[in-house]
Amino acid sequence: MPHALTRAAVLDRAKADGTQRTVPASLSSETPVKRGYEVEILRHDLASIDMTRAIDGLPLLFNHDRAEPIGVVENVRLENRRLVGMLRFGMSAKATEVWNDVQSGVLKH
């Protein structure tokens, strides 16, 4: 079975808002990542990223599960050659479970 290739959002828990159930996150960067025999470097400029998909927010997925989104990623933008956004967690049981793990420090990415 091929090895799964992943990236993880980096959460800024110090700026989490418990009332709004939001936390800012770095979604991607130009940090080199080893992918098998090659190194992947994502380009972060307006010519390389189609930001139109993010205008109304993007689905917030847990473990890339498209069948059960747990919230929305809002205010997606480029900042210092990184893609950043605000994660807003929904009210479903799964979203609440993940939000609680983010707040307690169990989930950092």
Q: Which of 8-17, 23-32, 36-45, 96-105 has the lowest mean pLDDT?
A: 8-17
Q: How far is 53 from 75, CA to CA, in rounded Å?
A: 12
Segment 36-81, tens digit of pLDDT: 889 999 999 989 999 998 999 999 999 888 999 999 999 999 999 9
pLDDT digits (tens, 9 = 90+) for 4-20: 556 667 788 889 999 99
CA distance linking residue 53 with residue 33, whole number of Å = 25
The pTM of the full predicted model, rounded to 2 decimals, is 0.85
Instruction: Give the span between the Cα atoms of 62 and 32, in whole angstroms.
Output: 23
